[in-house]
Amino acid sequence: MPTDARIKKRLTNKALHYLGRYASTTARLRQTLQKFAKRKLETAEPEEIEDAIEAVIADCQKFGYIDDQNFIDNRIRAGRNAGQSERRITQKLLQAGIGRDMAQASLKTHRNGYAQAEWLAALVHIRKKRLGCYGSERELSPEAYQKQMAKLARAGFGLDIIKQILSIDNAEEAENLEAEYRHDMPL
C-alpha cells in the first residue's frame, strides 16, 4: 500500500510529464491522472487517490502549469487563423473539457473585441478549401452553389456569412478583405 506522499509524488511526476508534452485543460489533466492511477496505483484507496489528484491539479494551477483561460484564448486564436467558425471552436473547446458557459463567454469577449473574426475565419476557410471565388469554376451552377453552401454550413458558418462570402467575385477581392481584416485584428 503506497503512502500518501508516494501517491502524490507519482501523480505529480505524471502531471509534469504530461503537461510538458501537451497543452491541456484541468479536465483533461484530471482524466489523465485518473487513468494513470487506475493503471499504476490500483492498491491505493480511491479517496486517497482523488485527494492527491486534486492537490496535484491545485499545485499545477498555482504554479501556472495549467490555465484554462489561457488554453481557451490560444485555441480561439488558432482556430480563427485556421479558418474555423465559432461553432467549430466551441465544439473543440467542449471536447477539451472546457465548460460551455466558459467557452461561450470567452468567444463573446473575443467577438466583442473583434467583430470581423467570423468573417476572417470564413475567408480563410474558403481559401483553404478552394471554395467560392477560389474554386475552379468561375460561374457556379445552382447545384454547385448549394454544395458549397452546405460545406460552409457544415463548417459552422451562419447563412448570412455564407451568402456574402460566396458572393465575392474574385480571389483578389477576397485577399484584400482578408488582409484588411487581419490588419484590424487585435493581437
Predicted pLDDT of residue 57: 96
Q: Please report which confidence band the pLDDT of residue 115 belongs to, taking 50, 70 and 90 as the band edges.
A: confident
Asked if residues 66 and 25 have their Cβ atoms less than 8 Å apart, the reply is: yes
Say whether both 55 and 75 belong to one domain. Answer: no
pTM: 0.83
Neighbouring CB atoms inside 10 A of 50's CB total 14
Say whether both 83 and 41 belong to one domain. Answer: no
Asked if residue 26 has pLDDT above 90, the reply is: yes
Predicted pLDDT of residue 149: 94
Give the three-state DSSP class for 10: helix
Say whether both 18 and 33 belong to one domain. Answer: yes
Q: With pLDDT > 70 as the criterion, what percentage of the chain qualifies?
A: 98
Asked if residue 162 has pLDDT above 70, the reply is: yes
Reduce the secondary structure of 68-115 to three states and give it as a string.
HHHHHHHHHHHHHHCCCCHHHHHHHHHHCCCCHHHHHHHHHHHHHHCC
Neighbouring CB atoms inside 10 A of 22's CB total 10
Task: Supply the mean pLDDT for the chain.
Answer: 91
Say whether both 109 and 122 belong to one domain. Answer: no
Residue bearing the bigger pLDDT, 125 or 1: 125
Predicted pLDDT of residue 186: 66
Question: How far is it, in rounded angstroms, from Cα 44 to Cα 38?
Answer: 9
Q: Which domain holds residue 100?
A: 68-113
| Mean pLDDT, range 134-148, rounded to an integer | 86
Asked if residue 100 has pLDDT above 80, the reply is: yes
Predicted pLDDT of residue 68: 94
Alpha carbon of residue 22 to chain centroid: 14
Say whether both 161 and 128 belong to one domain. Answer: yes
Residue bearing the bigger pLDDT, 3 or 72: 72
Say whether both 106 and 125 belong to one domain. Answer: no
Predicted pLDDT of residue 42: 87
Beta-carbon-side half-sphere exposure of residue 183 (alpha carbons within 13 Å): 6
Say whether both 123 and 173 belong to one domain. Answer: yes
Say whether both 74 and 127 belong to one domain. Answer: no
Asked if residue 113 has pLDDT above 80, the reply is: no
Domain count, the chain: 3
Say whether both 13 and 72 belong to one domain. Answer: no
Say whether both 162 and 132 belong to one domain. Answer: yes
Say whether both 178 and 130 belong to one domain. Answer: yes
pLDDT 10s digits, 48-99 = 999 999 999 999 999 999 999 999 999 999 999 899 999 999 999 999 999 9
Q: Please report which confidence band the pLDDT of residue 184 belongs to, taking 50, 70 and 90 as the band edges.
A: confident
Say whether both 129 and 180 belong to one domain. Answer: yes
Q: What is the DSSP string of 13-38?
A: HHHHHHHHH----HHHHHHHHHHHHH
Asked if residue 185 has pLDDT above 90, the reply is: no
